[in-house]
Structure 1
Amino acid sequence: MAGSIYLVAVGSNRRGRHGAPRAEVAAALRLLGGVSAPIIASAPLGPSIRTFANSAALIESGESPPDLLARLKRIERAFGRRAGRRWGSRVIDLDIVLWSGGRWRAPDLTVPHAAFRDRAFVLGPLRAIAPRWRDPATGLTVRQLHARLTRARAAPNPPRST
């Protein structure tokens, strides 16, 4: 599978051997290579209370999606990530979000990432490096998905008193 392109989301909300979460994300981006998005801060999901540092990388690889996932898991372990509760604090989190081959479905991997359309902390960095990339499920670009998710919405009108 020569020349596949991947969008990989990168996040951290715990200090590791590289330093604060922002430094962990920067180190992971250097290791992944390719084109990287700016690092942003975002609120945590779930029970974690620590702010996340998030970014994304656009990389080229001859690896299949499962082979890239295996490499990303090795990187996570090398950074000190341990299995833990879902949405808990983590030194590094690396997720395949999109793949130039379109869709991939296996028991341990789904591409596109199942929740990326609902996460501004993923779509924002992706928009910085691949705004025209189309989601194979919806046909919308990353820019369009981000705009739909983050557009201002009018507050509901309060009920009228009679």
Structure 2
Amino acid sequence: MTAASYAIALGSNRATRYGTPRATLRAAMAMLEGVTAVSPIIDSAPLGPSVRRFANAAVLIESALSPPEMLDRLKAMERHFGRRRGQRWGTRPLDLDIILWSEGCWEGRGLVIPHPAFRERRFVLDPLNAIAPAWRDPITHRTIKQLANRRRHG
């Protein structure tokens, strides 16, 4: 497979051996291979019952990995940072999600690209808009900038 681009969302709302959630995101971004763009880190309210605020960011990655291979790499990284399976909306040392893939859509076991909920999440759209405003959602054909503006004003 030739290199493709991935948009990856990062989140953390629990301190790790790397420090605060913001420090955890910086450490994770430094460990990712093929990073071509890094967004600012923002703070956001949690979804669900968690009370801890999140640090969120986005990166663009160039990689020859297939979407399932990229997912496996990201899940291994989450485990390295202390992520364990458990409560769906609980605290997380590190959450890494594939949001978009330059090759379009993908659906397979445990993975759907584009991420099904990304259009509704400002904590994903705002960081992604900072680094890839012209990237188009392959389903709605709207740019990230358009989607972010709709969330902000809608």
Do these two structures clear the TM 0.5 threshold for a shared fold by scoring above it? yes
TM-score of the pair, normalised by structure 2: 0.97
User: How far, CA to CA, are the matches of 1:109 and 1:37 in structure 2?
Assistant: 23
Aligned to 1:126: 128
Aligned to 1:13: 13
Structure 1: 4+ residue segments shifted above 6 A: none
Q: Deviations over 1:53-88 (max 9, x none)?
A: 000000000000000000000000001111111111
Paired-residue identity, %: 57
User: How far, CA to CA, are the matches of 2:9 and 2:84 in structure 1?
Assistant: 18
Aligned to 1:103: 105
Find the structure with the greater CA-based Rg: 1
Aligned to 1:60: 62
Q: Deviations over 1:26-63 (max 9, x none)?
A: 11111123311000000000010000000000000000
Displacement of 1:107 after TM fit?
2.5
Q: 2:94 aligns with which of 92, 95, 103?
A: 92
Aligned to 2:145: 143
TM-score of the pair, normalised by structure 1: 0.92
Aligned to 1:28: 28
Matched positions, count: 152
**Letter of the structure 2 residue corresponding to residue 124 of structure 1:** D
Q: Deviations over 1:106-147 (max 9, x none)?
A: 120000000000000000000000000000000000000000
Secondary structure of 2:23's match? helix
- Stretches of structure 1 that go unaligned for 5 or more consecutive residues are 154-162
User: How far, CA to CA, are the matches of 2:24 and 2:51 in structure 1?
Assistant: 18
- Stretches of structure 2 that go unaligned for 5 or more consecutive residues are none
